[in-house]
């Protein structure tokens, strides 16, 4: 940016953003009887505009006036000739000085005025509002998924079919976003697909295991057991070479205690449901560990696109197995489901909503992780389980014993402590890398 600073009986100074200045004596260019500084800025610029022609001619003596080398002079005069193009003034050298100065003055006034300070203060408020909306949509979509997923499983107890359908809906959703350019499609290559095979496999294991658990026990119990995921994460990561401070190990103790207490006091306890939730934890932990190692070379792919391709590959993993495991029972189960619900459209809506909101809540979680810090995300994820557990207990009216509620609270509180301790470890590691 090139600016022109003129004051009476002072040198004319041209300055760049790099703060290099080229002073020249302007005593021969300006009338010594220029009005005082208190005079209106508009009058001053009117006179300067009339004298700018002679100034442009006399600037040819720039080398003699300022004792600058000729090379510097020639480069400088070329910049003067291009000044109008740089600032988009089509009618000659600085044909809009008044509007330009007015904008600068307005910007300066807005920064120093109370209104400008109010704008600065409003930015954190906007960020807080955005964060509230992100978490609000994430929680709402998760609640809707858990409710309609459980309703569908109650009348159609075939989790392999429902899990496959949910991946199918997510795959179609992403293909629509990419086709209409609502989401930039990542570049697909053979190494990228190979790198996704491992994470997609473990994602498939985690997803189907959770669906099996949902079909066997209360939704609230499955989420309490799934809150023990940090325990598996610390154990398996340690086996693979990571080290954790004592605070992290201590934080997983209340998780184990709470989950154990909730399990032995659960009214709807079922070993298949318990093992399904535990295997789901293992699957998702290995998905996260494997993703960090195999996807290091594809950091340009954002979270939503990554999840989209994982869903597509997981569908190819899961559906053939689903056909083998329960395919022969689907037709008979479908008729029983329609008979139990009464209207086929109601059953279709339940299944469709479970598929749509399964993808949406995962999409929101990836978008939330892009917008907020990992610590905030971990805390939000912990609170999400609380909201889902309470919501499903109220909707399905599951009986909850006092010890079961206490165990659930202890487990979720332990998850919160783990998120705090692990975030401090991550910040310390990042600081060591920077230093």
- Beta-carbon-side half-sphere exposure of residue 333 (alpha carbons within 13 Å): 16
pLDDT grade for 268, boundaries at 50, 70 and 90? confident
Residues in the chain: 435
Q: Which residue has the higher pLDDT, 210 or 114?
A: 210
pLDDT grade for 426, boundaries at 50, 70 and 90? low
- The kind and range of the H/E element at 24 are strand 21-24
pLDDT grade for 382, boundaries at 50, 70 and 90? confident
pLDDT grade for 352, boundaries at 50, 70 and 90? very high
Contact by Cβ (8 Å): 235, 191: no
pLDDT grade for 278, boundaries at 50, 70 and 90? very high
- Closest residue by Cα to residue 153 from 141, 142, 166: 166
Q: Which residue has the higher pLDDT, 280 or 77?
A: 280
Q: Which residue has the higher pLDDT, 28 or 204?
A: 204
Q: Which residue has the higher pLDDT, 115 or 385?
A: 385
Q: Which residue has the higher pLDDT, 79 or 173?
A: 173
Residue 337 predicted with pLDDT over 80: yes
Q: Which residue has the higher pLDDT, 237 or 374?
A: 237
pLDDT grade for 73, boundaries at 50, 70 and 90? very low
- And the tokens for 276? 């399904």
Residue 69 predicted with pLDDT over 70: no
From CA 124, how far away is CA 146, in angstroms rounded? Answer: 33
SS3 205: helix
pLDDT in tens, 30-50: 444 444 444 444 454 455 445
pLDDT grade for 433, boundaries at 50, 70 and 90? low
- 309-325: average pLDDT: 96
Residue 312 predicted with pLDDT over 90: yes
- Start-to-end CA span in the chain (Å): 36
From CA 398, how far away is CA 408, in angstroms rounded? Answer: 14
Q: What pLDDT was estimated at residue 131?
A: 76
pLDDT grade for 242, boundaries at 50, 70 and 90? confident
- The kind and range of the H/E element at 55 are helix 41-58
Q: Which residue has the higher pLDDT, 264 or 126?
A: 264
Q: Distance of alpha carbon 190 from its chain centroid, rounded?
A: 27
Q: What pLDDT was estimated at residue 158?
A: 97
Residue 21 predicted with pLDDT over 60: no
pLDDT in tens, 144-154: 999 999 999 99
CA distances for 262 relative to 53, 141, 282, angstroms: 87, 26, 19
Name residue, tokens 């990554």.
306
Q: What pLDDT was estimated at residue 255?
A: 92
At residue 128's C-alpha, the angle toward residues 126 and 134, to 5°, is 105
pLDDT grade for 102, boundaries at 50, 70 and 90? very low
pLDDT grade for 267, boundaries at 50, 70 and 90? confident
Residue 74 predicted with pLDDT over 60: no
- Backbone φ, ψ for residue 37 (5° rounding): -65, -20
Q: What pLDDT was estimated at residue 410?
A: 94
- 218-227: average pLDDT: 93
At residue 413's C-alpha, the angle toward residues 411 and 415, to 5°, is 70
Contact by Cβ (8 Å): 159, 215: yes
- Closest residue by Cα to residue 205 from 143, 264, 288, 113: 288
- Closest residue by Cα to residue 357 from 113, 164, 140: 140
- 367-387: average pLDDT: 78
Predicted model pTM: 0.69
- And the tokens for 413? 């509180």
Share of the chain above pLDDT 90, in %: 45
Q: What pLDDT was estimated at residue 185?
A: 87
Q: Where are the alpha helices (DSSP H) in 241-343?
A: 246-264, 271-294, 303-326, 330-341
Output the average pLDDT for the chain: 77
From CA 241, how far away is CA 227, in angstroms rounded? Answer: 23
- 303-324: average pLDDT: 94
Beta sheet of 21-24, edge-to-edge order: 3-5, 12-15, 21-24
From CA 389, how far away is CA 393, in angstroms rounded? Answer: 6
- Closest residue by Cα to residue 213 from 202, 221, 205: 221
Domain boundaries of the chain, sorted by first residue: 133-432
Q: What pLDDT was estimated at residue 51?
A: 52
Q: Which residue has the higher pLDDT, 208 or 69?
A: 208
- And the tokens for 165? 């359908």
10 Å CB burial of residue 123 (0-12, 13-18, 19+) is exposed
10 Å CB burial of residue 259 (0-12, 13-18, 19+) is buried
């Amino acid at each position: 940016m090139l600016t022109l600073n003129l004051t009476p009986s002072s040198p004319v100074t041209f300055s760049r953003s790099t703060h290099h200045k080229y002073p020249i004596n302007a005593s021969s260019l300006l009338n010594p009887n220029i009005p005082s500084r208190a005079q209106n800025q508009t009058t001053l610029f009117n006179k300067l505009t009339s004298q700018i022609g002679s100034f442009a001619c006399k600037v040819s003596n720039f080398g003699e006036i300022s004792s600058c080398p000729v090379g510097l002079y020639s480069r400088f005069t070329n910049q003067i000739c291009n000044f109008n193009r740089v600032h988009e003034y089509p009618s000659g050298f600085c044909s809009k000085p008044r509007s330009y100065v007015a904008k600068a003055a307005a910007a300066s006034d807005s920064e120093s005025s109370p209104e400008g300070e109010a704008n600065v203060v409003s930015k954190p408020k906007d960020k807080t509002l955005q964060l509230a909306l992100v978490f609000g949509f994430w929680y709402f979509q998760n609640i809707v998924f858990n409710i309609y997923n459980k309703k569908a499983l109650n009348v159609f107890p075939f989790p392999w079919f429902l899990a496959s359908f949910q991946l199918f809906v997510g795959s179609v959703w992403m293909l629509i976003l990419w086709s209409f350019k609502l989401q930039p499609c990542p570049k697909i290559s053979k190494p990228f697909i190979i790198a996704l095979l491992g994470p997609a496999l473990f994602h498939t294991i985690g997803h189907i295991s959770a669906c099996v658990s949902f079909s066997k026990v209360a939704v609230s119990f499955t989420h309490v057991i799934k809150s023990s995921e940090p325990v598996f994460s610390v154990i398996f990561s340690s086996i693979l070479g990571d080290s954790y401070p004592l605070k992290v190990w201590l934080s997983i103790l209340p998780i184990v205690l709470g989950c154990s207490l909730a399990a032995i006091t659960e009214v709807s306890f079922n070993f298949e449901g318990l093992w399904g939730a535990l295997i789901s934890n293992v699957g998702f932990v290995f998905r996260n560990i494997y993703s960090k190692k195999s996807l290091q070379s594809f950091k340009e792919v954002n979270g939503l696109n990554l999840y989209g391709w994982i869903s597509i590959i997981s569908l190819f993993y899961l559906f053939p197995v689903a056909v083998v495991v329960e395919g022969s029972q689907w037709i008979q189960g479908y008729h029983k489901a329609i008979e139990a619900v009464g209207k086929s459209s109601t059953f279709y809506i339940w299944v469709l909503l479970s598929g749509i909101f399964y993808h949406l809540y995962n999409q929101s979680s990836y978008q939330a992780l892009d917008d907020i810090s990992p610590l905030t995300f971990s805390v939000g994820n912990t609170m999400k389980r609380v909201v889902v557990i309470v919501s499903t207990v109220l909707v399905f009216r599951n009986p909850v014993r006092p010890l079961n509620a206490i165990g659930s609270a202890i487990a979720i509180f332990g998850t919160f402590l783990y998120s705090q301790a692990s975030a401090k470890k991550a910040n310390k590691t990042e600081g060591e890398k920077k230093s």
